[in-house]
Amino acid sequence: MECPHLSASVCIAPDSAKFPHGSPSSWCCSVCRSNKSPWVCLTCSSVHCGSYRCDDFVVNDTKLGLVQKVREHLQNLENSAFTADRHRKRKFSENSSLNSKLLKVNGSTTAICATGLRNLGNTCFMNAILQSLSNIEQFCCYFKELPAVELRNGKTAGRRTYHTRSQGDSSVSLVEEFRKTLCALWQGSQTAFSPESLFYVVWKIMPNFRGYQQQDAHEFMRYLLDHLHLELQGGFNGVSGTAILQENSSLAASNKCCINGASTVVTAVFGGVLQNEVNCLICGTESRKFDPFLDLSLDIPSQFRSKRSKNQENGPVCSLRDCLRSFTDLEELDETELYMCHKCKKKQKSTKKFWIQKLPKVLCLHLKRFHWTAYLRNKVDTYVEFPLRGLDMKCYLLEPENSGPESCLYDLAAVVVHHGSGVGSGHYTAYAVHEGRWFHFNDSTVTLTDEDTVGKAKAYILFYVERQAKAGSNKL
């Protein structure tokens, strides 16, 4: 039953020190028994939650503003603790951060300008994707050059705002928080940045990622790109995303891939087009369909799934080319995927083949490492060999003769790696190249690494950038 006093409720902070009579982690919703995002009634102490199932229990403030006063008090406590801790660590951080961001290159000392991302509670999936995207120059520069937008004015300016259902989502901007995060990552002024504001917006507009469970990095990347695309279409800071895109002539001229409406920087950079060709095996009727894509999901061929390391001796090593060939090879559809032939006027056996009609500027390749069984989602831990430069995509094109000699060559920009045995557990890190040097991004820790180490990684997501300058390379 709904608590009659819930017009005066407050979110339970995760810090148990603020609630000495019991750890909030042990409190759960009296309706659905969830301990995620619990809310407690200020009058009768009933506990409910802010999940989708119990959203009716999170309601507006009282006429006297009691909830807001409690929230401001908790925020002041948090800010005071943070300020005291910052003063205590200032002297140490001034020395240690400088030393930790120095490295020797060819005998001389230089500074590491890369910044890590703090883990906010199983948010390594988000950190790995953000670090990868921050090292895709065309994409990152576009957002960093966007004008800043002021979301809050007056008394709430510069202070975290707590929202209720009645306020809606108009006061948050994914584009703005994404822009601020990218700007912070390569300033070199701090060793780690906390993406709390961005994660808060993710919770607001992407309900699937609420809570602190481990999430799938590829799924998050797709949601992130889709929502950035939609928000840019709707306009940012009073200017449409399409109008901003037109200012960058190189992106606008190449963008022929539109997904869900007008083009944006998302489709200009990641957008490609597939041709799906289906042939009826009974009458020979051919059907062609063009599908836009932002990334390609590739199966790891079954014959390689037992080989877990590069140096394992039982059989050949699986390569990225094997995965691409499996994706584009002619395939006979099984009984569950019968094709509706318009000539035969019934479902028939058929074959299917993919061609790439248009390659994107940034080719994102997702290796399908997680597969559902009867009860579990298992991980395919096979090592897949991939090139760091010179990935040649010409043989997968629908019309390769119409492409230039180097327009099909790609160089690796970033790799996302999943460590562990399952999608709901483990850990994500990323490798990315910046100004010719490879870095390993492990949440708040950033270390310089080398090409050999990157090449041995068990890639989950690969980001390849179209080669611009002519240079010799080892093709795949």
Active site residue 227: no
Confirm whether 1-82 and 119-146+172-229+262-305+317-469 share one CATH topology.
no
Average the pLDDT over 54-77 and give the result: 59
Annotation marks residue 124 as catalytic: yes
Q: What is the pLDDT of residue 382?
A: 92
Q: Please report the pLDDT score of residue 156 as a whole number.
A: 42
pLDDT at 466: 94
456 has a pLDDT exceeding 90:
yes
Fold exhibited by the domain 119-146+172-229+262-305+317-469: Cathepsin B; Chain A (3.90.70)
Residue 241: name the closest of 197, 186, 170, 179 by CA.
Answer: 179
Of 74-78, 146-150, 188-192, 405-409, least confident by mean pLDDT is: 74-78
- The verdict on pTM exceeding 0.85 is no
Token pair listed for 382: 């096979």
Q: What percent of the chain has pLDDT over 90?
A: 41
Q: Are 209 and 202 in contact (CB under 8 A)?
A: yes
| 253 Cβ contact partners less than 8 Å away, ≥ 6 residues apart | none
In contact, 319 and 476? CB cutoff 8 Å? yes
Res 234 pLDDT > 90: no
Whole-angstrom distance, CA of residue 278 vs CA of residue 19? 62
Measured between alpha carbons, how far is 377 from 367 in angstroms, rounded to an integer?
15
> What are the tokens at 173?
């901007």
User: Which sequence spans correspond to the domains of the chain?
Assistant: 1-82, 119-146+172-229+262-305+317-469
Instruction: Give yes or no for residue 269 having a pLDDT over 90.
Output: yes
* Domain 1-82: assigned CATH number: 3.30.40
pLDDT in tens, 211-222: 888 899 999 999
Mean pLDDT to the nearest integer, 199-209: 91
Which of the four pLDDT bands, split at 50, 70 and 90, describes residue 441? very high
Q: Spot the catalytic one: 5, 371, 419, 427.
A: 427
For residue 131, give the H/E element and its range: helix 124-134
197-220: average pLDDT: 91
> Regarding predicted confidence, which is higher, 61 or 53?
61
For residue 466, give the nearest of 416, 404, 417 by alpha carbon: 404
Active-site residue among 3, 29, 124, 140? 124
Residue-level pLDDT at 39: 67
pLDDT of residue 304: 86
